[in-house]
Amino acid sequence: MSLGSDHTGRGVRTALFRLRRGGARAVSMPLRGRLALLAATTVALAVAACALACWFLVRAQLLSSLDDSLRDNSVAPGAVVDRVQSGQCTPPDQPAPNPFGATVQVVDPSGGNCVIVGRKLDVADADVRVAERRHGEALHTARASDGTEYRVRTTPVAGTGLAVSVARPMAELQESLRKLALILTLVGGAGVLGAAGAGVALARAGLRPVDRLTGAVEHIARTEDLAVRIPVDGHDEIARLSRSFNAMTEALASSRELQQQLIADAGHELRTPLTSLRTNIDLLVRSEETGRALPEEDRRELLSSVQAQMAELAELIGDLQELSRPQAVPHAAEGEGAGPGGPNAPGGPGGSVAPPRAAVVGLHEVVERAVERARPRGPRLTLTTDLAPWYVRADAAALERSVVNLLDNALKFSPEGGSVHVVLRDGVLTVRDQGPGVPADEIPHVFDRFWRSPSARSLPGSGLGLSIVARTVRQSGGEVRLQRPADGGPGTEAVLRLPGAPTPPPSEPPR
């Protein structure tokens, strides 16, 4: 590589580095500064364009007025020619006095000139062409020996081969243009400064909501305080952003509160079986260490209790895992169609956003499997079913677990020798037990996490079963509730409603 190319390469790299550095400085400028700079630059360009247009327009108008005055103040050609022929030309170094500052000189076709009044001016080609009768008039600007500029009008002298040039100094015109340029510069500069100030003020006012948003974000990042809310004014983009931010912080605060509540409740619920399990294991260990064997019956009871507590822990952990799964966001359907092509049909256009593992399943088949799973848990109870076909879009495993939870709840509270009736009609699943029923003041809490009725705290369970049911049904776009039987009889009815159709869609057979 030659030295010249190496030097050129370094120069290009240096220029690119400076360009990037300048761009980085521009990007690092605050937004309000960039807005003010943009406003000032835009106004400066507009003012400069208007000022230049105004200056050139005034200059053209002044030159036109000066040319008109030269035409109006013509000299007598005969008197000028007589002075030339009599040799009365003014020497170039001795200009004739002229109170009006005008210059009159005679030009011949060879380019020679004879000054009659004023200073000698350079003869232009246009003046010679007029003397040669090639042009009838010439208007141009000439410069005297002292540097003064003149506006010159040259006309031919009839009957001779000469032309007369009449010139007037342009000092007044140039002074007027200088003053105009100064005025335009001052006015334009004031306009640019005013535009910059207005840009700063508008940017400050327009970005005030952004400043509030930035302050709120920085406060949350610094303190993790999600209770901050931004005042929302208007309906512009900033207002939409503020509303979205408030909704986000509200959702985060709710999520954090639910998380903390879940952790606290889980710790509380885990403590009881763990304490009991530890006590029983300590008894067994102490018995082995001391060599004092426990009676066989007591030992069997302890081992049975340990197994039951481990099963309870396993069930509780499984429930917690189920609750920790990500939730799908349901959307309300726009219609109430129940047919295969209606908005609530599985796979139809309406309905809800199904869970990630959703598919078209037969709810009646899911209920049948759940009944078979739950039947051994109530060997002294009667389980009756009346199921009509109904197809829904849901997570089959989660839906079956939810139905099992409803059946477990009904079996748990039904008296020995009682019955549990399961009916499915038009997408409405009803599970009715013959237990004591749920008091009216407790019904709003039955689907809360870890909530247990005071009368049920002595029974096995974690208080998560119905909350899992509510979560699964909500993900599938349905609803679930507990109520007293409509006929006024004993027990409680669990009513689960899911959108679907009595037949599956042809394009997607059930799984």
pLDDT tens-digit profile of 298-326? 888 888 888 877 876 776 777 677 666 65
Q: Which amino acid is at 59?
A: R
Check whether 102 has a pLDDT greater than 50.
yes
Helix (H, G, I), strand (E, B) or coil at 170: coil
Angle ∠(16,17,22) on CA atoms, nearest 5: 95
In terms of pLDDT, which residue wins out, 70 or 82?
Answer: 70
Phi and psi for 226 in degrees, rounded to 5?
Answer: -90, 10
Provide the CB-side half-sphere exposure for 132 (13 A, CA). Answer: 11
User: CA-CA distances (angstroms) from residue 282 to 51, 272, 336?
Assistant: 98, 15, 60
Determine the topology of domain 337-497 in CATH: Heat Shock Protein 90 (3.30.565)
CA atoms of 86 and 83, how far apart (whole Å):
5
Check whether 112 has a pLDDT greater than 80.
no
Q: Please, which contacts does 442-450 make with residues 24 or more away whose CB atoms are closer than 8 Å?
A: 443/482, 443/483, 446/482, 447/480, 449/261, 449/262, 449/265, 449/323, 450/265, 450/266, 450/268, 450/269
Closest CA to 433 of 444, 422, 446: 422
- How do the domains of the chain map onto residue ranges? 73-173, 237-323, 337-497
Q: Per-residue pLDDT averaged across 201-209, rounded?
A: 80
Determine the topology of domain 237-323 in CATH: Helix Hairpins (1.10.287)
Confidence of residue 78 (pLDDT cuts 50, 70, 90): low
CA atoms of 349 and 202, how far apart (whole Å):
47
Closest CA to 50 of 179, 176, 175, 184: 184
Confidence of residue 449 (pLDDT cuts 50, 70, 90): low
The residue whose two tokens read 């700079």 is 37
- Residue 359 in contact with residue 511, Cβ under 8 Å? yes
Check whether 209 has a pLDDT greater than 60.
yes
Q: Per-residue pLDDT averaged across 358-372, rounded?
A: 91
Lowest mean pLDDT among 33-42, 157-166, 332-341, 366-375: 332-341
Lowest mean pLDDT among 224-228, 245-249, 278-282, 309-313: 309-313
3-state secondary structure 91-106: CCCCCCCCCCCCEEEE
Burial group, residue 499, by CB count within 10 angstroms (0-12, 13-18, 19+): buried
Task: Please list, in sequence order, all residues whose beta carbon lies within 8 angstroms of the beta carbon of residue 460, skipping any fewer than 6 positions away.
Answer: 308, 312, 412
Closest CA to 130 of 85, 83, 164: 164
Percent of the chain exceeding pLDDT 90 equals 14
Q: Which amino acid is at 226?
A: L
* Average pLDDT in the chain: 77
Which range among 68-82, 175-189, 250-264, 481-495 has the greatest average pLDDT? 175-189
Confidence of residue 450 (pLDDT cuts 50, 70, 90): low
Lowest mean pLDDT among 130-134, 231-235, 423-427: 231-235
Longest dimension (CA), the chain: 161
- Residue 383 in contact with residue 420, Cβ under 8 Å? yes
- Residue 33: the pLDDT is 79
Q: Per-residue pLDDT averaged across 414-440, rounded?
A: 88
Lowest mean pLDDT among 109-118, 143-152, 252-261, 350-359: 350-359
CA atoms of 393 and 355, how far apart (whole Å):
9
In terms of pLDDT, which residue wins out, 417 or 456?
Answer: 417
CA atoms of 323 and 196, how far apart (whole Å):
57
- Residue 341: the pLDDT is 39
Task: Please list, in sequence order, all residues whose beta carbon lies within 8 angstroms of the beta carbon of residue 453, skipping any fewer than 6 positions away.
Answer: 438, 439, 442, 446
Residue 223 in tokens: 């303190």
The residue whose two tokens read 């677990």 is 401
Write the CATH number of the domain with boundaries 73-173. Answer: 3.30.450
- Residue 330: the pLDDT is 45
Lowest mean pLDDT among 33-42, 109-118, 126-135: 109-118
